[in-house]
């Protein structure tokens, strides 16, 4: 009989932090693909969203096992990248 391998559930950031606090090696959870943000480069903003949109964000966050804030940042980054790619594909307009 073949053994069925169970897929691993992603580990939360809080769980990784707990392991690090306990002195465990957590390097296996990181791949160094991210960017380091310098202190002072992050600014806090307030955004008003409809409750339905918040529910959608919370569902996405739960599915991805990340925070609502991480979902928002990811979606904004994807939208900005899409905008930059679209702008790069358009010919420049001549100024008179």
* Residue 88, pLDDT score: 85
pLDDT of residue 55: 96
Model-level pTM? Answer: 0.53
The C-alpha atoms of residue 39 and residue 36 are separated, in whole angstroms, by 9
Give tens-digit pLDDT for 41-72. Answer: 778 899 999 999 999 999 999 999 999 999 99
- The full set of domain ranges for the chain reads 49-90
Within the chain, strands assigned E span none
- Choice among 11-20, 22-31, 36-45, 74-83 with the minimum mean pLDDT: 36-45
- Calculate the alpha carbon distances from 27 to 7, 19, 80 in Å: 20, 11, 30
Contacts 24+ apart (CB under 8 A), 65-73: 65/9, 65/10, 65/11, 65/12, 66/13, 67/13
């Amino acid at each position: 009989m073949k053994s069925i391998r169970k897929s691993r559930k992603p580990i939360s950031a809080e769980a990784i932090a707990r392991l690090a606090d306990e002195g465990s090696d957590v390097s296996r959870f990181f791949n160094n693909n991210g960017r380091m943000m310098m202190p002072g480069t992050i600014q806090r903003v307030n955004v008003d969203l409809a409750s339905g949109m918040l529910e959608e964000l919370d569902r996405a966050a739960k599915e991805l096992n990340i925070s609502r804030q991480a979902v928002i940042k990811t979606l904004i980054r994807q939208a900005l990248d899409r905008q930059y790619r679209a702008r790069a594909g358009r010919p420049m307009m001549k100024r008179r």
